């Protein structure tokens, strides 16, 4: 089973680390993951404040009901090393590296993380938001899985992709779809989690609902969000339906019967079900159980 499947990541909300009120409020929001942002949402003159806000928030109290991720600044910037120092003090669940583009980025991050005392237990999330990353995705993911910190999640940065390439991002993302599906494909092939990019206009609920439904159909594991009002629809869209859960239970039960012990294919009410469906069924149940177990 994929190593990430027991962790629901239906909703991952960006919270700018400059906003102390938002940091405090985030504890009560029902998203699966919080991405504390030191990068895009923070003006250069506010970076230092953002780091100390984060250290203060993590020191005061753990974010017990959420997976915690800190998005640091790009490799090679003046803030990169300082962000890793803050990261070592906060000890979140994962670090999110923006603008991943080259194999060397993994090696540079690994050496710097060790040098700044970042704990070994930390997971690695990466932003897929450059033409270079999209062009070399399979190789990048394979390298990240063999590295340290170990790659655990791909996060699409659709705004940056559209900006760098000039591709029109509207019309239901029609022109971005081939690249988005390619990110999903690489994630599924290597067994890592994959999260869709943000919907920019949080006042447009209809547009968001359409895009989150599209994300779920494309087999993303969840969506990155910019506003608390987007959490509930995302949680709903990426939770297995009761129909799916009952079907999964029936498949697991059927394969567990003695007479089906060695069977590659079984007949369930006139429908042929293969052993690969058993793996999918177990995955659905693992996600369902993890969601039910959330406080």
What secondary structure, in 3-state letters, does 59-113 show?
HHCCCCCCEEEEECCCCCCHHHHHHHHHHHHHCCCEEEECCCCCHHHHHHHHHHH
- Average confidence (pLDDT) over 34-52: 97
How far is Cα 82 from Cα 85, in angstroms, rounded to an integer? Answer: 5
- DSSP three-state, residue 152: strand
How far is Cα 19 from Cα 54, in angstroms, rounded to an integer? Answer: 10
Contact status, residue 176 vs residue 162, Cβ threshold 8 Å: yes
Contact status, residue 148 vs residue 155, Cβ threshold 8 Å: no
Structure tokens at 84: 């890793």
Is the pLDDT at 47 greater than 60? The verdict is yes
Domains along the chain with CATH numbers: 11-237 (3.20.20.60), 242-293 (no CATH)
How far is Cα 223 from Cα 193, in angstroms, rounded to an integer? Answer: 11
Find the helix or strand (DSSP H, E) in which 193 lies.
strand 193-196
Residue 206 backbone phi and psi in degrees, to 5: -60, -45
Taking Cα atoms as reference points, which of 55, 26, 17, 59 lies closest to residue 231?
26
How far is Cα 183 from Cα 221, in angstroms, rounded to an integer? Answer: 12
Give the list of residues 6+ apart from residue 204 with CB closer than 8 angstroms, or none.
none
How far is Cα 101 from Cα 231, in angstroms, rounded to an integer? Answer: 29
Residues in the chain: 295
Is the pLDDT at 292 greater than 70? The verdict is yes
Confidence band (pLDDT; 50, 70, 90) for 64? confident
Encode pLDDT of 134-171 as tens digits.
Answer: 999 999 999 999 999 999 999 999 999 999 999 999 99
Encode pLDDT of 65-107 as tens digits.
Answer: 899 999 999 999 999 999 999 999 999 999 999 999 999 999 9
Taking Cα atoms as reference points, which of 111, 170, 104 lies closest to residue 143?
104
Q: pTM of the prediction? A: 0.93
């Amino acid at each position: 089973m994929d190593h990430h499947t027991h962790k629901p990541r239906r909703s991952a909300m960006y919270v700018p680390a400059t906003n102390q009120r938002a940091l405090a409020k985030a504890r009560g929001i029902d998203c699966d993951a919080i991405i504390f942002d030191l990068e895009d949402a923070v003006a250069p003159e506010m970076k230092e404040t953002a780091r100390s806000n984060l250290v203060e928030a993590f020191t005061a109290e753990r974010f017990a009901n959420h997976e915690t991720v800190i998005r640091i600044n790009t490799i090679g910037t003046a803030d990169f090393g300082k962000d890793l120092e803050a990261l070592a003090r906060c000890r979140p669940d994962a670090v999110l590296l923006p603008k991943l583009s080259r194999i060397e980025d993994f090696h540079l991050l690994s050496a710097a993380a060790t040098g700044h005392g970042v704990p070994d237990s930390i997971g690695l999330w990466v932003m897929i938001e450059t033409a270079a990353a999209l062009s070399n995705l399979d190789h990048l993911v394979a390298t990240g899985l063999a590295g340290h910190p170990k790659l655990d999640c791909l996060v699409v940065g659709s705004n940056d992709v559209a900006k760098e390439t000039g591709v029109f991002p509207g019309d239901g993302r029609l022109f971005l779809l081939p690249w988005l599906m390619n990110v999903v494909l690489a994630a599924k092939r290597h067994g890592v989690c994959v999260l869709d990019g943000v919907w920019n206009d949080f006042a447009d609920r209809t547009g968001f609902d359409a895009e989150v439904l599209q994300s779920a159909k494309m087999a993303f594991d969840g969506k990155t969000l910019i506003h608390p009002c987007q959490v509930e629809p995302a949680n709903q869209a990426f939770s297995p339906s009761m129909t799916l859960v009952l079907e999964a239970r029936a498949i697991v039960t059927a394969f567990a019967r003695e007479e089906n012990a060695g069977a590659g294919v079984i007949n369930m009410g006139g429908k042929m079900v293969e052993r690969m469906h058993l793996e999918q069924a177990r995955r659905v149940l693992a996600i369902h159980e993890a969601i039910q177990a959330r406080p």
